[in-house]
Amino acid sequence: MQQDIENLKNEITAAIAASDSLDSLEEIRISSLGKKGSVSGLMKGLGGMSPEERKEMGPILNALKTDIANEIGARKNTLEAAALEARLLEETIDVTLPPRERPLGSIHPISQVMDEIAEIFSGLGFAVAEGPDLETDFYNFTALNIPEEHPARQMHDTFYLKPDENGERKVLRTHTSPVQIRTMINQEPPIRIIAPGRTYRSDSDATHTPMFHQVEGLVIDKDTHLGHLKGTLEAFLKAFFEVDAVTLRLRPSYFPFTEPSMEVDVQCSFEGGTVKIGDGNDWLEVLGSGMVHRKVLEACDLDPNVYQGFAFGCGIDRLAMLKYGMNDLRAFFDSDLRWLRHYGFSALNLPTLAGGLS
């Protein structure tokens, strides 16, 4: 009996030593020490022995069980250490190697154009001003000399919220002009700002969306005149479209917040189905502008006999379409990765006047 036990021990010990994985070692543990294992079977046989046999065989079988368990534990520690070493070697990173090239994503054309505009106007001495998307009637309409009967105030053109406890209805701003009002109220002239941001109007087709982006500019000083406006717009459009010169045409128009008011056209050509700015015999409307209305200055507690200024505004989405050849504004907001990969910009290629905008 004892010889059989010794042979079993040698057999199990050899199997343990030969195991090369934790899974195979676990199979040996179950086959020897499990409920139906060979060592466990011998332990169960103690119940059928006489007291004298149990006294003799008990210590031998307990020692066998303990030795096998210790052998398994030791082999398990060895295999786990070897597995950890192999994993560490596999996951080692050589920091002296050049980094792997991984895509960082693309900058949306709207973000790119907004950065380009900010870069141009910062070079002209303008600061960037921001304001809330949700506005009051005063900032969005009244202070801008927009009368009660003006179509822009109507429900079919404007997104209104439900009246509050005071009966006042907030509005999703229809332009970024409220930022101009807030700046004039809170800042002493001279003022030179641009106000880029989201705006909202109830309209949707290939060239209009309910939410779009707009940038407006404002200059307030004591000696500002129409020539300053024209020169600023020429400098901006020349830098934005990256051409040597532009020719502008100022057409009389009407905006409640400026007087005189002008639509600004830029000379261009439409040859080959594309727009070429700064050349040709055609004209393209790009923005609206004018001298700030006296009533707007008065609403901001600025004396119109001392201060005067100019303002202008244009759609950022429209500028992006003109510059980068996109023909459907709705695609800007479709979250189509294929479109973004085609029209998007490198995340590391920041627009600068010195290095080039696009």
For 318-336, the pLDDT digits (tens) are 899 888 888 778 888 888 8
pLDDT digits (tens, 9 = 90+) for 259-317: 999 999 999 998 877 788 888 889 999 999 999 999 999 999 999 999 999 999 999 99
The answer as to whether 347 is a domain residue is: no
The answer as to whether 355 is a domain residue is: no
The answer as to whether 348 is a domain residue is: no
- Same-domain pairing of 271 and 316: yes
- Same-domain pairing of 66 and 131: no
The answer as to whether 44 is a domain residue is: yes
- Same-domain pairing of 187 and 46: no
Average pLDDT for the chain? 86
The answer as to whether 272 is a domain residue is: yes
- Same-domain pairing of 72 and 140: no
Angle, CA 166 vertex, CA 161 and CA 170 arms, to 5°: 25
pTM of the predicted model as reported, rounded to 2 decimal places: 0.67
The answer as to whether 102 is a domain residue is: no
d(CA 308, CA 293): 8
Residue 220 pLDDT greater than 60, yes or no = yes
pLDDT digits (tens, 9 = 90+) for 109-156: 999 999 999 999 999 999 999 999 999 999 999 999 988 777 766 655
Of 38 and 292, the structure prediction assigns the larger pLDDT to 292
- Same-domain pairing of 119 and 58: no
- Same-domain pairing of 174 and 300: yes
Count of CB atoms situated within 10 Å of the CB of 184: 24
**Pair 54, 46: CB distance under 8 Å:** yes
283, β-bridge pairs: 267
Predicted confidence band of residue 358 (pLDDT cuts 50, 70, 90): low
- Same-domain pairing of 310 and 218: yes
- Same-domain pairing of 81 and 192: no
- Same-domain pairing of 192 and 141: yes
- Same-domain pairing of 124 and 78: no
- Same-domain pairing of 170 and 133: yes
Burial readout 7-24 (b: 16 or more C-beta within 10 A, e: otherwise)? ebbeebbebbeebeeeee
Q: Please, what is the angle between helix 2-18 and helix 22-33, to 10°?
A: 160
CATH number, position 151: 3.30.930.10
346, β-bridge pairs: 106
d(CA 209, CA 194): 22
As for how many domains the chain has, the answer is: 2
45-50 mean pLDDT:
77
- Same-domain pairing of 195 and 273: yes
The answer as to whether 123 is a domain residue is: yes
Task: Supply the range of the domain harboring residue 77.
Answer: 2-90
Residue 53 pLDDT greater than 60, yes or no = yes
249 contact partners, CB below 8 Å, separation of at least 6: 264, 265, 266, 267, 283
